[in-house]
């Protein structure tokens, strides 16, 4: 019988067979874990490293944020989106070593978001977004936003205003209007209203809905920054868009001096 033959085999041979059996089990576990991690990253959840100050203090530089790819997003959500409009400039300068790309692909290291941006969704397709009303607040479809729960506050206690310059836009079909929470340090939709993409002036201010990777659900590192994200209550008061979303953006008034 096989067990009798193994018992009669020399001790070094039995040790080698045992080591190889253990190694195979380890390889199976490692490969299975990598496959599970890759599937998780591709279809469910991805971790991004925050590289800039534009979303302070909701997200600080160096935060690792978990982004959920399922379930969509709504007004008020913090989202990560691909830089398909090249707001960051030439994407070729964001190339990384192959091994870092591989580790990011399988989900073992966070995506450094060098070709992604993170902002808060203020308006969806068809929404009329205006800044500012007599109270200095942004309005969406006529409803004023109370943004005090998330706008950046400096160390002296002074909070950013809704915007340092006015704008009046209607978001076109298939696009979103996004702003950073650190309004005085964010080159967001306001700063791209003068761009021409495909010959349509201002379209570069509105990221494609399909460019959105997902919504931020939690800061998971550093541990003292651990927190989840919910849609701010002020967005619940916004009604539906007053008109169908236009194919081209509507930008009224002077362009912001970004």
HSE-CB of 190 using CA atoms within 13 angstroms: 26
Clarify whether 69 is annotated catalytic. Answer: no
Rounded Cα–Cα distance for residues 86 and 80 (Å): 14
Q: How far apart are CA 138 and CA 135, in angstroms?
A: 9
| Chain Cα centroid distance, residue 93 | 20
Q: Which of 119, 163, 186, 189 is catalytic?
A: 119
Q: Which of 52, 54, 189, 211 is catalytic?
A: 54
The yes-or-no answer on residue 21 being catalytic is no
Q: What is the Cα Rg of the chain in Å?
A: 24
* Residues with active-site annotation: 54, 119
């Amino acid at each position: 019988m096989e067990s009798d033959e193994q018992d009669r085999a020399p001790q070094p041979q039995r040790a080698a067979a045992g080591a190889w059996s253990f190694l195979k089990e380890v390889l199976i576990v490692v490969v299975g874990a990598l496959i599970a991690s890759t599937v998780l990253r591709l279809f469910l959840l991805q971790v991004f490293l925050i590289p800039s100050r534009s979303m302070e203090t909701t997200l600080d530089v160096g935060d690792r944020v978990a982004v959920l790819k399922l379930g969509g997003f709504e007004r008020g959500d913090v989202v990560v989106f691909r830089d398909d409009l090249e707001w960051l400039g030439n994407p070729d300068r964001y190339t990384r070593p192959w091994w870092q790309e591989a580790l990011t692909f399988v989900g073992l290291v966070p995506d450094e978001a060098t070709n992604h941006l993170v902002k808060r969704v203020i308006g969806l397709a068809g929404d009329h977004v205006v800044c500012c009303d007599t109270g200095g607040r942004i309005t969406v479809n006529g409803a004023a936003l109370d943004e005090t729960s998330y706008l950046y506050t400096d160390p002296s206690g002074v909070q950013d205003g809704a915007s340092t310059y006015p704008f009046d836009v209607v978001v076109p079909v298939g696009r979103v209007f996004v702003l950073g929470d650190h309004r005085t340090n964010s080159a967001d939709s306001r700063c791209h209203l003068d761009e021409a993409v495909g010959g349509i002036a201002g379209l570069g201010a509105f990221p494609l809905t399909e460019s959105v990777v997902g919504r931020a659900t939690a800061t998971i590192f550093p541990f003292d920054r651990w927190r989840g994200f919910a849609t701010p209550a002020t967005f619940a008061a916004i009604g539906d868009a007053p008109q169908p979303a236009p194919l081209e953006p509507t930008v009224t008034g002077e362009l912001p001096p970004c």
